[in-house]
Amino acid sequence: MKIIIQKISLFVSLITLGFVANAQVIEISASASTLTQTIANGSTFDATNYMTIPINLKDYLPVTVSIKNTGTAALILTQVSGKYIVLSGSGASDFTINESSLTGTIAAGATQTFTVNLSASATNGTNRTVTMSITSNSSSNSTGGVYTGNIKYNLSGLTTAITKASDIGLSLYPNPSNDGQMHVTANNVVVNRIVVSNVSGQTEEFATTEFKTTFKGLLLVRLYTDKGIVSEKIIIQE
């Protein structure tokens, strides 16, 4: 159990952004089992191994990340291409951010959170790097108000998608749908999460077998189950 906690602690630190102490306005941190670590703005954390133990990031997702405003004035987050949390670098397509709980304005002393998880397009690989950036109105301890953290990581053991949901007793309906509301029936299959992608590469994630997507047109649905990953196409009428 101790080794597991250490591995989680290291993974947590990859998605944590730390900032200089003087004039600090933002404190961004993530924790598991009461352990928290940070990396400096713009630096790289190598999370490919802990001691001699390989770290596979998929085993420790999702992780909740907290943004705390430690200043005396409101912290205003700025959206870039419609997102408060921006991923870039060679590993950007491996992860998704659920920032639905972020309002864009964090009062002095208040905290808001977002979560990081694997994306439907994640693939196996080693020594990858992803950069997570947050832009705000606090420029005193960053470069133009942009805070970044570079994460070096490994992914392995990702399963190949099953061609049809019906192969393992799953079905999605109605298809097509006129309002985006979808239902999944599962016979002796545990559905852990559902990721919906549109043709632009945008994703929405759901934790229940009844969900409503805001996307329109032809969509790809990936269902992560205890029997592997299922891919299905659905149509949401315009």
Look at residue 226 and tell me whether its pLDDT is greater than 80: no
Retrieve residue 103's tokens.
Answer: 């309002």
Q: Which domains does the chain have, with CATH numbers?
A: 2-155 (2.60.40.10), 165-236 (2.60.40)
Look at residue 23 and tell me whether its pLDDT is greater than 50: no
Q: Is 167 helix (H, G, I), strand (E, B) or coil?
A: helix
Q: How far apart are CA 1 and CA 185, in angstroms?
A: 36
Instruction: Identify which of 120, 116, 128, 130 has the alpha carbon closest to the alpha carbon of residue 202.
Output: 120
Give the pLDDT score at 179: 93
Give the pLDDT score at 110: 94
Burial of 100 (0-12, 13-18, 19+ CB in 10 A): exposed
Could you read off the pLDDT of 90-134 as tens digits, one per residue? 788 888 889 999 999 999 999 999 888 887 678 788 888 888 899
Q: What HEC string does 171-199 produce?
A: EEECCCECCCEEEEEECCCCEEEEEEECC
Q: What integer best gives the mean pLDDT of the chain?
A: 78
Instruction: Identify which of 26, 5, 2 has the alpha carbon closest to the alpha carbon of residue 16.
Output: 26
Beta strands in 70-124 (DSSP E): 75-78, 85-88, 95-98, 105-106, 111-118
Is the bond into 62 cis (omega within 30 degrees of 0)? yes
Q: How many angstroms separate the Cα of 156 from the Cα of each of 22, 48, 126, 200?
A: 40, 11, 8, 26
Could you read off the pLDDT of 7-20 as tens digits, one per residue? 333 333 344 444 33
Q: How many angstroms separate the Cα of 163 from the Cα of each of 91, 149, 195, 228, 231?
A: 25, 36, 16, 11, 6
Could you read off the pLDDT of 58-93 as tens digits, one per residue? 777 777 788 888 888 898 999 998 999 999 887 888
